[in-house]
Amino acid sequence: MSYSITEPSSRQKWIAGGLVIAYAILTLLPLAWIIATGFKTPADAIAYPPKVLFTPSLEGYVNLFTSRSRVTPEDLAALGPPTTWYDSIVRQYDMVITGASRYGERFLNSVIIGFGSTFLSVFLGTIAAYAFSRFKVPLKDDLLFFILSTRMMPPIAVAIPIFLMYRQLGLSDTHLGMILLYTAVNLSLSVWLLKGFIDEIPIEYEEAALIDGYTRFQAFYKVVLPQAATGIASTAIFCLIFAWNEYAFAVLLTSGTAQTAPPFIPTIIGAGGKDWPAVAAGATLFLLPIMVFTILLRKHLLRGITFGAVRK
């Protein structure tokens, strides 16, 4: 690094680094607590003072994935010794496993709706962004502003007519209905971000391809898409994170078949009060993929957040 009079001194760097790291540790504490609570027994989870060191247990995860019912000690004795490790965990509490819980289904719904809507919003966003970037679209600026303005509406405000409309069309509580809805919400972000990325690709590449006898479609497919790949990928992550985390529409428009994990996780309850280790286990499995994604893809993500904001 070249010497510069504006470069902060190393003492300044130490102080700045120390303060930022202190803030980071403080802010990560609740997240660490979620992960830790998932591995506690219910008794450890509500211990006072809060337990930092504890014997890890998989009870929370077992309770998360199973439904259980209480049996009398005689019935329990009649069943014979437990056959699996999770059986033995449950039997300490005079319970037997009666089947799988709904968590698996809800998680799968999140995956289907998340990836489905991400694919659709990125696909539609890419072609629309290409058109806005390269062609003379009438009323271009108005259309772009219109696309952006759809993000200002409070979800609850649009939820009323969408609720009625979906009931009429038979789309309420369906995967397709949720995919279309999340796609529409994500489109504004997707078009704006992608237009920025495509604007950066020099138009000369396509012109050369067109002169070489490519059609517009071929030029788009073989020249523009590969160049925009990074931009498309980071847009996809933003769309996925939104759909993954969305709660308001999910709680209002789904109840059974298409319910995603965010409305479901807070409703997990155990026998006699809230089963915090199971809630924490469910939250951990749901949040961890996003945390890992964020850390691995930080370069593209951080750029995307500010990019989307600063462009406006």
Partner 1 sequence: MPDPFQRAALATPPKLAHQIRGLSDRTIAWLFVAPTIFLLLAVNIFPLIWTIRLSLTNFRTNRPNNAVEWVGIENYRKILTNPDTWASLQATAHFLVWTITLQVLIGFSLAYLINKKFRSNDLWTTLIVLPMMLSPAVVGNFWTFLYQPQIGLFNYFIAFLTGADPASFSMIGEVALAPWAIIIVDTWMWTPFVMLICLAGLRSIPPSIYEAAECDRASKWRQFWTITLPMALPFLMLAVLFRGIENFKMFDLVVQLTGGGPGATTQLTSIDLKREAFEKWRTGYASAYAVILFVTVFGLASIYVKALNKVKDR
In the complex, least distance from residue 74 CB atom to partner 1, rounded to whole angstroms:
35
In the complex, least distance from residue 123 CB atom to partner 1, rounded to whole angstroms:
9
In the complex, least distance from residue 206 CB atom to partner 1, rounded to whole angstroms:
11
In the complex, least distance from residue 128 CB atom to partner 1, rounded to whole angstroms:
4
In the complex, least distance from residue 42 CB atom to partner 1, rounded to whole angstroms:
12
Specify the residue, 77 or 156, whose C-beta has the smaller distance to partner 1: 156
Question: Count of alpha carbons within 13 Å of 279, Cβ hemisphere only?
Answer: 17
Cα–Cα distance, 148 to 135 (Å, whole number):
19
Specify the residue, 78 or 309, whose C-beta has the smaller distance to partner 1: 309
Specify the residue, 77 or 233, whose C-beta has the smaller distance to partner 1: 233
How many Cβ atoms are within 10 Å of 281's Cβ, its own excluded? 28
Cα–Cα distance, 140 to 132 (Å, whole number):
7
Specify the residue, 77 or 269, whose C-beta has the smaller distance to partner 1: 269
Specify the residue, 225 or 287, whose C-beta has the smaller distance to partner 1: 287
DSSP state of 288: H
Specify the residue, 28 or 233, whose C-beta has the smaller distance to partner 1: 28
In the complex, least distance from residue 50 CB atom to partner 1, rounded to whole angstroms:
5
| Residue among 129, 284, 99 at smallest CA distance from 197 | 129
Cα–Cα distance, 280 to 108 (Å, whole number):
18
- Residue 66's φ and ψ, nearest 5 degrees, are -120, 160
In the complex, least distance from residue 16 CB atom to partner 1, rounded to whole angstroms:
4
DSSP string for residues in 18-61: HHHHHHHHHHHHHHHHHHHHHTS-HHHHT-SSPPSS----SHHH
- Residue 244's φ and ψ, nearest 5 degrees, are -65, -40
Specify the residue, 97 or 254, whose C-beta has the smaller distance to partner 1: 254
* CB of 91 closer than 8 Å to CB of 82: yes
